[in-house]
Structure 1
Amino acid sequence: MNRQHTSFTGILAIIIASFLWGTTGTVASYSPDTSPLAIGAFSMGIGGLLLVINAHKNLLIDAKLMFNQPIVLLFGAACVAIYPLAFYTSMRLTGVAIGTVVSIATAPFFAAILDRLISKKHITKQWLISFIMGAVGIALLTLGRAKNETLQTSDFSQLIGIILGCIAGLTYAGYSWAARRLIETGAKSQSAMSGLFGLASLVLLPSLWFTGDNLFASATNISVALYMAIIPMFLGYVLFGYGLTFIDASKATLITLIEPLVATILAVSILGEQFNAIGWIGALLVTLCLLMQTLKTKKHQTLNAQNLYS
């Protein structure tokens, strides 16, 4: 298969996954009586089990290879377990748009640091320019929130929400890096993602004993929980793992800047969150950042044929 074509296919898969993830905040808002910890634990936990079931054949084949890298495996699984708890709590405290923006915007920065410090990979000028443009766009999007919009949380709680968003960005970059590292050493993308998420499920699902009181209290809550687990978590991460077969974690996380754009549009059109002109200028900059990453693809980002998704 042509390398340029396979790289484009990987990018497209991550773009679709980002659209699916962009719906999570809006969907979760329809279950306000459910703890964000429960929503995160259930969606990521059940999604992880589905990934394991879907990839069980490849997982059995690659298990020994993955267990030969216990630090990478455990680090990635820990990041998967922490990410949804921080992410959904951040959105509950700061609003869907801001929570998503902060969580996703910080991920490329942390991913690049991991690639540079651990994998010793070079940060290109194209990436740096794209990141600066994306960071400025994210800042404008955050500052562009209409002042007449209110949240039922204190300023301190919103600050905690932003900090949790940064933690979500760090852990998102962490498990993206871990999955990519496993793929680079010979594991199939399905095996890498399902292995990380399966291990995280061992922690996330038992936590529902303490947080999941209202998770199934109504048909709406049940629908929200099942949608979150099956569509953005299971299907989204199948696509994300496929994309990581072809491109680096730092580039993958930068492409997912499209997620906060989707989340913002849904938050404005459905939930009534409001932004002024400067916020929409920020959204445009993030879009340009995405285009810079997708219009120029480097051939060296494609792995050998034996690592292709199957």
Structure 2
Amino acid sequence: MSKQAKGIFLAAVGAMMWGGSGAAAQYLFHDTPLTTNWLVAVRMLGAGIVLTLISLFRNPQGVKRLLTQKWSLIQLVAFAIFGTLNSQLTYFLAIRYSNAPTATVIQYLQPVIIIIWLALVNQHWPRRIDDISVVLAILGTFLLVTGGRLGSLTLTPIALFWGLWCAVAAAIYTVMPVKLLKEFDTFAVCGLAMLIGGLIMSPELFITHVPHLTTADWGMVGYVVIFGTMAAYSMFLGSLNFISPTTTGILGAFEPLVATIIAVSFLGTKLTTAMVIGSLLILATTFLQAIPVKKNPLTK
């Protein structure tokens, strides 16, 4: 298998597992007494411990170097809090207050957020294709949130709030670890970030009683931790070693696709035509960002 094929496989399968995780979380939040904080704590601690152990087995010196170098440790802790924990918690809160397809699609506003952020930081107007992406994202969000009807909302204000925050968190998660991933092993960065975030959330495990769940429910929790977190994050981040972030982002579209198929087919989630069109417009921004644009020789 070529490096490119390996990268495509890792990104696609990782995104599919993420999509399945979102649908599993929707089921757990809507049909069991599980709290969001409890599931996030279990998810991050479980995946963090396993991934950290794997990274210690693979490259113990690399883990030691990651934890002892001042610059890398500071970046790791920042990534764990503002990237990993932030994206995990807000994504699950968005699912709790809406559903997996909606939360996952709103999360895909992250390219637009990155475009706006870079334009502000670099103090230059975005490219024309970026302008088109922003317009499509705004129109898509309008259709998704209102169902195409002015004065009405298909999402509650709190669902919209967590969805938009989730998109910001996803943008931070995408941008923050680039330097770390170039320097250190993916398992080490991902595992330690998960572990740190899980430790921060761990008090939730002591103040919340273990929920009464069926065997099938615990199986869903296991899927969220093992496949929807540990495997998905490792595969998706690992794909960056073989293909460009742009390609990885495009293949991430499998996430909302899988989440939507499962939620509509098995969880009874209903989506209007306007919501579907809005979702497609938002996802289109990811594909637009992959189009190579020739630089104008008259501009710097």
TM-score (norm 2): 0.77
Residue 82 of structure 1: aligned partner? 86
Secondary structure of 1:29's partner?
A: helix
Select the residue among 106, 109, 112 that pairs with 1:106. Answer: 109
Q: Provide the C-alpha distance between the structure 2 equivalents of 1:54 and 1:120, rounded to a whole number of angstroms.
A: 42
Q: Provide the C-alpha distance between the structure 2 equivalents of 1:279 and 1:251, rounded to a whole number of angstroms.
A: 25
Is 1:264 equivalent to 2:260 in the alignment? Answer: yes
Is 1:93 equivalent to 2:97 in the alignment? Answer: yes
- What does residue range 97-246 of structure 1 map to in structure 2 within 5 Å? 97-102=101-106, 104-112=107-115, 126=129, 129-130=132-133, 132-134=135-137, 136-144=139-147, 158-184=156-182, 186-211=183-208, 213-214=210-211, 217-246=213-242
Q: CA deviation at 1:213?
A: 2.9
Asked if the contact 2:142–2:148 (Cα under 8 Å) also holds between the matched residues in 1, the reply is no
Q: Provide the C-alpha distance between the structure 2 equivalents of 1:261 and 1:9, rounded to a whole number of angstroms.
A: 21
Asked if the contact 1:23–1:266 (Cα under 8 Å) also holds between the matched residues in 2, the reply is yes
Distance 1:26-1:247 versus aligned 2 partners, 3 A rule: same
Asked if the contact 1:105–1:134 (Cα under 8 Å) also holds between the matched residues in 2, the reply is no
Is 1:285 equivalent to 2:281 in the alignment? Answer: yes
Distance 1:213-1:123 versus aligned 2 partners, 3 A rule: farther
Distance 1:144-1:229 versus aligned 2 partners, 3 A rule: same
Residue 50 of structure 1: aligned partner? 50
Distance 1:41-1:228 versus aligned 2 partners, 3 A rule: same
Distance 1:283-1:175 versus aligned 2 partners, 3 A rule: closer
Q: Provide the C-alpha distance between the structure 1 equivalents of 2:204 and 2:148, rounded to a whole number of angstroms.
A: 34
Q: Provide the C-alpha distance between the structure 1 equivalents of 2:132 and 2:4, rounded to a whole number of angstroms.
A: 21
Q: Provide the C-alpha distance between the structure 1 equivalents of 2:281 and 2:168, rounded to a whole number of angstroms.
A: 22
RMSD of aligned C-alpha atoms? 3.7
Q: CA deviation at 1:251?
A: 6.7
Instruction: Give deviations 1:239-280, integer Å, cap 9, x for gaps.
Output: 111123356667745653442233223222222222222233
Distance 1:52-1:220 versus aligned 2 partners, 3 A rule: same
Asked if the contact 2:22–2:259 (Cα under 8 Å) also holds between the matched residues in 1, the reply is yes
Asked if the contact 2:16–2:255 (Cα under 8 Å) also holds between the matched residues in 1, the reply is yes
Instruction: Give deviations 1:108-164, integer Å, cap 9, x for gaps.
Output: 234445666779999765565456545544543444499xxx99xxx8xx3122212
Instruction: Give deviations 1:173-203, integer Å, cap 9, x for gaps.
Output: 223322212123x222232222322222222
Rg: which structure is higher?
A: 2
Q: Which runs of 5+ in 2 are unaligned?
A: 295-300
Distance 1:94-1:283 versus aligned 2 partners, 3 A rule: closer
Residue 303 of structure 1: aligned partner? none
